[in-house]
Chain A
Amino acid sequence: MSTAAHEVHDHVGASVKENLAIWIGLVAITGLEVFLAYIELRPMLMLSILVGLSLIKAAMIMSYFMHLKFEKFQLVLWLVPAMIFCILMMLIFFFPDSFRLLQMRPN
């Protein structure tokens, strides 16, 4: 059974202009990240800004390119909190031990 006609009327999403604007934004943020590397910021500040910018880019890609903004909100509730929870668990219980290890080194 052909669903082409059904699909043409059913799809809701961003326009070509909006998708192009998002893409230009992603390239601009990438350029900003490279610029930050060029000006030799101190590492912890650089890391914080880079992770923040990466999260913004991830949100832009998920919302527009992956269409999450136009899906039912319950899909966002199914997927995003679980991902954030699992990543936070890894960070909280695993990551701080690296600082302890650094201090335990003999030199």
Chain B
Amino acid sequence: MGSKKLGMWLFIVSDTLTFSALLIAYSYARISNPDWPRPFPMNPAIIFSTTMTVVLLASSLTMVMAVMAAHRGDRATTVKWLIATMAGGLLFTGLHLREWMHLIEEGATITANPWGTPLFGAVFFGVTGLHMTHVMIGVIYIGIVALGFGRGKFSAEDVEVNGLYWHFVDLVWMFVFPLIYLMSVQY
């Protein structure tokens, strides 16, 4: 195995532990605070966040197509799929920021909220904010690889390593979405 791929996998393991620690800390805070709010109604909050999830999954699929095209040696198609992946990432971020603005307008901050324990805001904005930061870094990373691969400076391995990072970002959301959104549905 190449050192680039191994290096990315080792980074992914360490970042997995970071997110695991955050989600376990969230679970701890939630269980020990019986006044944990449930601020997300099915319509529109859960429908909106489900749309975000499908967008991120779609961007993972376009990344898979980019890696396959890169291994075929088809540079033009690879760059098109990478641009589609970036579009998915940007759309996800835009939708997420829209959701953040909605919650902030309702009075939720990292230190307070109108519904229950103040820890909710810290956890919600902390975890989703860190994930969104990873998404934005991923979009920039994909842009650099798309530019370099299109010009013949990067190899298919570089696209594959890029893909590993992007799929990791999607994988984290597969845990954040159920634990933070679906467990906080307003009945």
B60-A54 in contact (CB<8A): no
A61-B167 in contact (CB<8A): yes
B34-A50 in contact (CB<8A): no
Asked if A75 lies at the interface with its beta carbon under 8 angstroms from chain B, I say yes
Interface flags for B132-143 (1: CB within 8 Å of A; 0: not) read 000000000000
How far is it, in angstroms, between the C-alpha of A99 and the C-alpha of B29 when the chains are bound?
10
Q: Which of A27, A37, A83, A90 is within 8 Å of B13, CB to CB?
A: A83
B9-A79 in contact (CB<8A): yes
A50-B179 in contact (CB<8A): yes
Q: Chain A interface secondary structure, helix, strand, loop or mixed? A: helix
B60-A65 in contact (CB<8A): yes
List B contacts of A5 (CB < 8 A). 73
* Given A58-B175, A83-B13: A91 and B24 interface contact (C-beta under 8 Å): yes
| Partner-B contacts on A (CB < 8 A) | 3-5, 7-8, 10-11, 13, 16, 19-20, 23, 26-27, 30, 33-34, 36-38, 40, 43, 46-47, 50-51, 53-54, 57-58, 61-62, 64-67, 71-72, 75, 79, 82-83, 86-87, 90-91, 94-95, 97-99, 101-102, 105
